Amino acid sequence: MVVCKSGFAVSAAALLLSNFATPALAQTPVGPPPAIVPGPTPVTQALGLPAATSVTAQTMVADLEAPWGMAFLPNGDVLVTELLGKLRYIKAGTSWSLEAEEIKGVPAVIAGGQGGLMDVTLHPNFSRNKFIYLSFSVGDEAANRTRVVRAKLDGRTLTDVQTLFEVTPAKPRFQHYGSRFTWLPDQTLLVSIGDGGNPPNSLDGSFIRNQAQNLSSHLGKIVRIKDDGSIPKDNPFVGTSGARSEIYSYGHRNVQGLVRDPVSGRIYATEHGSQGGDELNLIQSGQNYGWPKVTYGVEYGAARTPITPNQSAPGLIDPLAVWSPAIAPSGLAVVRSKKYRGWDGDVLAGGLRLDQGRGALLRVDLDAAGKVLGQERIDLGDVRVRDVRQGPDGYIYILTTAMRNFRDKGQRNGQLLRLQPVETIPQR
Ligand SMILES: [Ca+2]
């Protein structure tokens, strides 16, 4: 057994399996090691990963205010949400520009703490029906929730705004909204929902995070709805007494990276842990991802109090990768592009926090079976990564901000970046 810097006990076998770059280990643990039974997933310290040399970042657009999510239109233009409540339009082309006027008709959001206007996605048949989907928080500090709406994009105006889904129950305080979208091939939509927040935030006489294991609650879940908001009959808990029929998977803390690999069909999600224990998971219908019964994270604070004695347990799905210290994962893409040599099928995980306000973009190298072979760090400078997507042109695009505080209004330091391969790969 080896005890790493973050205080976790990790088996030597797990460390050997962990990475082509083994995370740097400190000799002395911080405080007494917690009595935690280790799980099978290798723990990666992202700062110890090798830095990629095959790409550079190019700024396409600046002056965004706390950008959160993006969606590419069929013509290559981009819709970007800003957390405080605006939907912006970026014109692509030989030069890219952020239109000064935001899109009109966006519903009012409550932009407190981590909440606000979050993800945006286009209907798979957008070219025909002009439908877009938005996720955002509504309510007030005492009772708020994530809502999903569908609207028609008519030029630069939203019309026919219709609420398709709202989280039940409402929660107090402004933490953990989840809110990422991804589409499945049957035109059903996955939406991630946060667990409601950290202790002491409580609901029904216990910490609200326990809602993640409560099937009568949407909190701490990934839900699946049809494109009109109705419930697919083949959802895993349809017909289960007391369970919410929108639930697709559960036991999540706060999933803010969610993507389906169009080639393998695998669904990947990243979720924030509590003081470390950030996870990459392979999402399957009806499965329990363990929070807060198992986790590689610990309670916030210097004492590093265990949340649970276990990092793994029978019947609960172990993560593919774990990051401690936290990268605060947000945004996730699968590379299905010939622009980047050797990256095809790999996962790119964004993160808000690598160290001291600087975010992370990590490439996770996966084999054909989805097993993690290794990781590298793509350094973008002193920015936080909020979202990452592959564009229709095959390039990887990243939304960043220098914002250190969610309430830091008026900081127009958000950018849309493109990853530029250093080497030009001949295209056939
Ligand atoms: Ca988990």
| Domains of the chain by start residue, with CATH | 46-299+317-421 (2.120.10.30)
Mean pLDDT to the nearest integer, 15-28: 41
> Are 92 and 152 contacting, i.e. CB atoms less than 8 angstroms apart?
no
Task: List the one residue out of 187, 197, 202 whose CA is nearest residue 137.
Answer: 197
Say if residue 360 is exposed, middle or buried (CB neighbours under 10 Å; 0-12, 13-18, 19+): buried
Query: What average pLDDT does the chain have?
Result: 90
Distance 323 CA to ligand 1 centre (A): 12
Average pLDDT over residues 66-89: 96
pLDDT at 314: 97
pLDDT of residue 113: 87
For the ranges 114-128, 336-350, 366-380, which has the lowest average pLDDT? 366-380
Region 302-316: what's the mean pLDDT?
95
pLDDT(427) > 70:
no
The Cα 328–Cα 114 span in angstroms is 13
For residues 406-414, average pLDDT = 77
Q: Please state, in angstroms and as integers, the Cα–Cα distance from residue 172 to each residue in 195, 198, 208, following that order.
A: 12, 11, 9
Calculate how far, in angstroms, residue 286's C-alpha sits from the geometric centre of ligand 1.
14
Q: State residue 49's pLDDT score.
A: 96
Q: Is the pLDDT of residue 34 over 60?
A: no
Task: Name the pLDDT band for 11 (thresholds 50, 70, 90).
Answer: very low
For ligand 1, a single-atom ion, the residues with CB < 5 A are 289-290
**Which residues on neighbouring strands pair with residue 322, listed in sequence order?**
43, 279
Quote the pTM value.
Answer: 0.90
Is 307's pLDDT higher than 60?
yes
How far, in Å, from the CA of 141 to the mean position of ligand 1? 28
Going from the Cα of 416 to the center of ligand 1, the distance in angstroms, rounded, reads 30
* Mean pLDDT (whole number) for 322-332: 96
Q: What is the pLDDT of residues 59-68, one digit of tens each?
A: 999 999 999 9
Give the β-pairing of 9-10 and 2-3: antiparallel
Lowest mean pLDDT among 2-6, 122-126, 309-313: 2-6
Are 304 and 31 in contact by the 8 Å Cβ rule? The answer is yes
* Residue 4 confidence (pLDDT): 36
320 CA distance to ligand 1 middle (Å)? 10
CA of 207 to the centre of ligand 1 (A): 17
Take residue 265 and report the two structure tokens written for it: 């069909």
Name residue 141's amino acid. Answer: E
Q: How far does residue 221's CA lie from ligand 1's centre (Å)?
A: 11
Query: Which residue has better confidence, 24 or 145?
Result: 145
10, pLDDT greater than 80? no
Q: What whole-number percentage of the chain has pLDDT above 90?
A: 83
Q: What is the C-alpha separation between 25 and 42, in angstroms, rounded?
A: 13
CA of 156 to the centre of ligand 1 (A): 40
- Please name the residues in contact with 184: beta carbons below 8 A apart, sequence gap of 6 or more: 190, 224, 260, 267
What confidence tens digit (pLDDT) does each residue in 155-188 have? 999 999 999 999 999 999 999 999 999 999 999 9
> What residues are labeled active site?
176
Question: What is the mean predicted confidence (pLDDT) over 228-239?
Answer: 98
Q: Residue 215 has what pLDDT? A: 98
**Residue 7: per-residue pLDDT:** 34
